[in-house]
Amino acid sequence: MDTFLVQPVSKRAARLSIGAFFFIAGLCFASWASRIPDIKLKLGLSDGGLGAVLFALPVGLMVSLPFSGWLVHHFGSRKMVLLSAVLYPLILCNIGLVQATWQLVLVLFAFGLTGNLFNIAVNTQAVSLEVLYGRSIMASFHGIWSLAGFTGASIGTLMINFHLPPLIHFCIITGTAYLLIALLYRNSLRQDINADDDRPLFAKPDATLLKLGLIAMCCMVCEGAMFDWSGVYFQKVVEAPKGLIPLGYTAFMSTMAGGRFAGDKLVARVGTLRVLQISGLVIATGLIVAIGFPSIVTATVGFMLVGIGVSSVVPLVYGVAGKSTVFSPGVALAAVSTIGYLGFLAGPPMIGFIAEGVNLRVSFAVIAVLGFMTTVIASKTKF
């Protein structure tokens, strides 16, 4: 593993800087998500039409995966963090400007593309800083992203209550992001680990990266299920009152965020392998509780367990992948992300197909099995 050039800033200052970029990424994404209903109404989209349009974002994300790692490797994560951190909020503002469906499709494609470059670059910075610290700090950065999601959703609710249009809302978010960039970018890391020019840029993942990608995929299937189907589960299976339908999603998000802030300390005590093994068991247990006892209280507890289970998996997988001795951090992260995001994209539709053919509880049972596979694959992976 290569050594760093002497860093001109303290580790604490670098951590604050990198944390700010994670916050910007989460804030921008949550701000867009909070105004989807308003934009749907503005463009007169049906539910099916909206679903088709929204697919442009993950398509942009997937398209960017092959070259995001190359860009980060070739130009360095510091430059790519700055580029993507400037473009991502700017594209968010353009979402507020759209007047036609085709415009929204193009802008969402660019939003997904830029967002993934941001993701790879900022995680590469985090991996490099983790090496400097000599201990796990990755989960806390992803916790900041989750905290930014809550903040963005809350600001969105406030903007809606004040009847401010999405464009004004998004411009405020962009201004906030640019202020953070101006104040903290100078403290970002100037060199990445394993930045050798002779490392392969385009090669199939080795066995370790493949297994890490599969772990991420199993976890992200579960995350996608919670994001897209937790409300439907509470509505149709739990039969919760209308005001309590979002309770499952809120429970999941709260424990996922909290678990990420606690994850690094747990890794320091029991190690990465054990945390991943426990995580898979907790995911499966939570889903089994929600399936077997579909009342408001037990399903909420079950979804809370799922949030705890998924909280540290992707951050830990990214942390291990970024320290690959075969690939540069950006390329390794892109490889793992490519496999992982397949689960995020395929999971929600798979649930729908199974639910239509059988029922929603059986769909969640399949997700529970995939969650448990996190434990199985982790047990067969070298860390």
| Ranges 11-20, 156-165, 189-198, 219-228, most confident | 11-20
Burial class (CB in 10 A: 0-12, 13-18, 19+), 48: exposed
Number of Cβ atoms within 10 Å of the Cβ of 374: 30
pLDDT of 146 strictly over 60 = yes
Enter the pTM of the model.
0.84
- Given this model, what pLDDT does residue 149 score? 85
Average pLDDT over residues 231-256: 86
**Token duo for residue 119:** 């993701």
**What is the pLDDT of the chain when averaged over all its residues?**
89
- Given this model, what pLDDT does residue 197 score? 52
Average pLDDT over residues 67-77: 89
d(CA 337, CA 54): 20
* Alpha-carbon distances of 368 from 84, 121, 228, 315, rounded to whole Å: 35, 32, 16, 20
pLDDT of 143 strictly over 60 = yes
180 closest CA partner among 382, 27, 312, 61 = 27
DSSP letter at 382?
Answer: -
Res. 203 pLDDT band, cuts 50 70 90: low
Res. 253 pLDDT band, cuts 50 70 90: confident
- Given this model, what pLDDT does residue 194 score? 64
- Quick check: helix, strand or coil at residue 326? coil
**Token duo for residue 261:** 């802030």
d(CA 86, CA 114): 10
* Alpha-carbon distances of 211 from 139, 215, 270, rounded to whole Å: 19, 6, 21
pLDDT of 34 strictly over 80 = yes
Return the minimum-mean-pLDDT range out of 79-93, 115-129, 197-211, 245-259: 197-211
Residues 6+ apart with CB under 8 A from 244: 234, 296
* Alpha-carbon distances of 374 from 216, 254, 256, 277, rounded to whole Å: 8, 21, 16, 7
- Given this model, what pLDDT does residue 1 score? 42
CB < 8 Å & 24+ apart, contacts of 289-292: 290/233, 290/248, 290/364, 291/361, 291/364, 291/365, 291/368
Is residue 81 a contact partner of residue 21, using CB atoms and an 8 Å limit?
yes
- Given this model, what pLDDT does residue 6 score? 42
